[in-house]
Amino acid sequence: MKTVKRYWIYIFLIISLFFSACTLNNSEGKLVEDNSDIIDDNDQNSYIANPWTEVTKEDVEKGLGTEIVLPHDAKNVIYRFNSSIELYEILFDYDVLSFTYRIKKSAENEDISGLYYDWTLSYEETVEGYDAIIYSVHTEDGNINLITWHDTQTDISFSLSTNIGDLNGFHITEIVKQLIKNGSEDFFEEDN
């Protein structure tokens, strides 16, 4: 029994030494850490840097090479850019909902939404000439809706998401029509 204990102690020591050696990055034996994403305010507070930088609508349009259109009555609009992944994000409120609109130059259709749910509903639909995929899932916080589409002429991927709570008759495609051509006004159907 003592031999087995000793055996496990030796294994533990060898593993510990191995991992200790892996953390040394120079001949002086100093521990070198990769803190490229950590900001340190005089060793008092350390936190991960915010990847988003606020920008203007003009910055977004210049970066994408296309005009950006939002619903006429959009409020609390915030334009942001994440340079590490070359992604633009526009946050806005419209009617009673808050939306996250993401846009990225991309040669192929990719999911840029940042939402990772097990979607309970997904289907394809043509919206203003674009092949879109609509996703939905009910969570304890409400009904999450997402629509993604890709413009093959400009090589730009888009996603629009919102938490619609318990609103009946909501069609996220109507908001996309606003984003594409700024045309429709009816976003909620009457309940039958």
CB contact at 8 A, 118 and 137: yes
Say which residues have a Cβ less than 8 Å from residue 176's Cβ, sequence separation at least 6: 127, 128, 132, 147, 149, 160
Query: What are the C-alpha distances in Å from 103 to residues 35, 79, 111?
Result: 29, 11, 10
By three-state DSSP, how is residue 85 classified? coil
- Both tokens assigned to 10: 């030796």
Higher pLDDT, 168 or 81: 81
Domains and CATH numbers, the chain: 2-48 (no CATH), 52-181 (2.60.120)
**Calpha distance 92→72 (Å, rounded):** 11
Residue 87 identity (one-letter amino acid): L
User: What value does the mean pLDDT take over residues 136-150?
Assistant: 92
In this structure, how many other beta carbons lie within 10 angstroms of the beta carbon of residue 147? 24
User: What value does the mean pLDDT take over residues 19-37?
Assistant: 44
pLDDT digits (tens, 9 = 90+) for 85-111: 999 999 999 988 999 999 999 888 888
**Calpha distance 167→153 (Å, rounded):** 35
Q: Report the share of the chain in percent with pLDDT over 70.
A: 67
Region at 135 (left for phi over 0; alpha for psi -120 to 50; beta for the rest): beta
DSSP string, 106-146: -SS----S------SEEEEEEETTEEEEEEEEEETTEEEEE
Dihedral sign, Cα of residue 159, residue 160, residue 163, residue 165:
negative
Higher pLDDT, 44 or 114: 114
User: What value does the mean pLDDT take over residues 63-84?
Assistant: 94
pTM of the model: 0.69
Q: Which residue has the tokens 């996220």?
A: 172
Dihedral sign, Cα of residue 124, residue 126, residue 128, residue 129:
positive
Q: How confident is the model at residue 130 (pLDDT cuts 50, 70, 90)?
A: very high
Reported as half-sphere exposure (CB side, CA atoms, 13 A), residue 24 has a value of 10
Reported as half-sphere exposure (CB side, CA atoms, 13 A), residue 127 has a value of 27
- Which of 38-52, 104-118, 159-173 is the least confident region? 38-52
User: What value does the mean pLDDT take over residues 48-71?
Assistant: 92
